Every structure is written in C-alpha cells, then in structure tokens.
C-alpha cells in the first residue's frame, strides 16, 4: 500500500510540475524575448539574450504608457465603486429583513444567466442618450466605467452575500443591543470581516477589466481613451510593421506588471477569501 501511495504521490507531483511549467513558461519566454533584438530572436530563438537589450523597454514604455494610465484610472475607480456598492447590497440581502428580499435576490441571480454580449446594444444606446460617447473630457472614461460597474453587480453581490451569511449573527445582534445602527454595523463590523473576500472580488474584477477588449472599443474609437487591451493591439501593429519583436514583447511584459504586483500585495487576502468559502463551485 505504501508503495502504491508513493507512486501515486509521485505521479501527482510530476503532473503538477508539468502544469506549472505550462503556466510559467509563456511568461518566461516573453521576458527573455523582450531583451532580444531581431537577430537574436531569429537565430537564437530558445536561448537567453546575449547581450541583454534594455532599450526595448524604453521604446515600449513610450508608446504604451498612455494606455496603461487609462486602464489604471478606469480600474481603480470602477473597482472602488463596485466594492462599495456591492458590499452594501450584499449586507442588505444577508442581514436585513424586507418584503420580497428573496425574490429580488433571485432576479439579481437571473442576470448572471444573460450573456454580456446581449447587453452591448442596450448599454450603447443608454450611453449615447446620456452623451457619454463624445470623445471629450472625461465622458468616455465615465462611459467605460459605468459598463463595468453595472456588469459586475450581480456576481459580486452573490459572492459577498455568501460570505456575510457565514458570519455569526451574534456579532450583529450584540452591536444592535449596544445601540449600533445598520450603517455603523456595516462600517465597523461587516467591512473588517470581509476584507479577504473584497480582495478576491477586486482581483477577479480587475482581470476582467484589464483584459477586456470589446466594451472599450464599443464606447470609444479615439486612441486617447484606449485601454491597455486596445492599446496593445495598436502597439503590436506599430512594431509588426517594423518587425521589432523585442519592444513588442517588452510592451506585453509591462502591461502585465500591474496585475502581478497587485496579486503579490493581495495574495494572502485572496487565498483567505477563497478558502473561507467566498467562491463556491
């Protein structure tokens, strides 16, 4: 039995290492390629750069920085509003009693069944009527953010509500006995308890916003308001015309750095949110 368990454990470890290799190798390839020139790219495709050309990153950052800034602005404001609004809604669904609560929540869950592509035209019409499609000032930013904020409500409320319901009701009852109203209970008790699940929702939402291509393209065609997904496509076309693969891959690496840094900062809270039952499969 011990021999069979050892063989089974070894096979699982080998499989996990293989999957880890498949996950990390594309990132490794992008990094080493970003330091190569064209000659190294074609003649020493699999080898390390020699010499390492750091100027590729300077060329990439000059072009990609405005798009990166647009995505950061849109992501920060969108996620902040999403976390605040959905956490309050989830608290109401989990802790308050009001007529039709379960019906309203079921209707909210039904929105998860609607493909996002079906809502593109209605959202576009609403933004057009609100005059948020005009490429001037902050209007396109607001239009893009409104789409993300509206689209993430149902999923985020569902996740956070499940976490709220796992918390002991005695905490909130004791607060009410001490004279704490619902707003104070939300800010003083609920929010500190849900930091892990907020980190989980923030990372999942950021991945969706950062990698989204279609919605920003629907809202604006002005390159000044392009997000990183649209900017990378334009960036790639620029360097494909010159066949400069080093700067092109350097741009891909720079575009992924904010996600990597955020995950490193929130990794512990993200894992706590998953293990605490924030996401139930």
Q: Quote the number of domains for the chain.
A: 1
pLDDT surpasses 90 at 59: no
pTM: 0.84
Range from 98-102, 113-117, 147-151, 192-196 that averages highest in pLDDT = 147-151
Residue range(s) defining the domain that contains residue 93:
72-241+267-275
CATH number of the domain encompassing residue 162: 1.10.3720.10
Task: Evaluate whether residue 13 is within a structural domain.
Answer: no
pLDDT of res. 278: 41
pLDDT surpasses 90 at 146: yes
Task: Evaluate whether residue 179 is within a structural domain.
Answer: yes
Q: Which of 98, 277, 104, 92 is nearest to 172 (CA)?
A: 92
At 126, phi and psi to the nearest 5?
Answer: -60, -45
Instruction: Tell me the two tokens of residue 39.
Output: 């000659």
Task: Evaluate whether residue 15 is within a structural domain.
Answer: no
Taking phi over 0 as left and psi of -120 to 50 as alpha, with beta for the rest, 114 belongs to beta
Task: Evaluate whether residue 119 is within a structural domain.
Answer: yes
Task: Evaluate whether residue 89 is within a structural domain.
Answer: yes
Task: Evaluate whether residue 261 is within a structural domain.
Answer: no
pLDDT surpasses 60 at 77: yes
Task: Evaluate whether residue 11 is within a structural domain.
Answer: no
Task: Evaluate whether residue 143 is within a structural domain.
Answer: yes
């Amino acid at each position: 039995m011990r021999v069979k368990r050892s063989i089974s454990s070894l096979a699982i470890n080998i499989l996990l290492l293989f999957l880890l290799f498949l996950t990390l190798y594309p990132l490794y390839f992008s990094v080493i390629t970003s330091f190569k020139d064209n000659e190294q790219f074609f003649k020493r495709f699999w080898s390390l750069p020699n010499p390492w050309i750091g100027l590729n990153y300077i060329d990439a950052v000059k072009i990609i920085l405005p798009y990166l800034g647009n995505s950061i602005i849109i992501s920060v404001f969108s996620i902040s509003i999403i976390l605040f609004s959905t956490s309050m809604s989830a608290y109401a669904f989990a802790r308050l009693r009001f007529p039709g609560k379960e019906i309203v929540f079921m209707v909210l869950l039904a929105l998860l069944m609607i493909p996002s592509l079906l809502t593109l035209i209605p959202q576009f019409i609403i933004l057009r009527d609100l005059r948020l499609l005009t490429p001037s000032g902050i209007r396109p930013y607001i239009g893009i953010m409104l789409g993300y904020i509206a689209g993430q409500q149902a999923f985020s409320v569902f996740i956070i509500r499940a976490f709220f319901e796992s918390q002991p009701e005695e905490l909130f009852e004791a607060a009410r006995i001490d004279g704490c109203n619902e707003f104070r209970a939300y800010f003083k008790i609920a929010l500190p308890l849900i930091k892990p699940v907020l980190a989980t929702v923030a990372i999942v939402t950021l991945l969706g916003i950062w990698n989204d291509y279609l919605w920003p393209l629907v809202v604006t065609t002005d390159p000044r308001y392009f997000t990183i997904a649209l900017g990378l496509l334009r960036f790639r076309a620029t360097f494909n015309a010159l066949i400069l693969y080093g700067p092109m891959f350097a741009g891909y690496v720079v575009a992924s750095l904010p996600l990597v840094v955020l995950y490193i900062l929130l990794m512990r809270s993200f894992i706590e949110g998953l293990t605490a039952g924030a996401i139930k499969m």
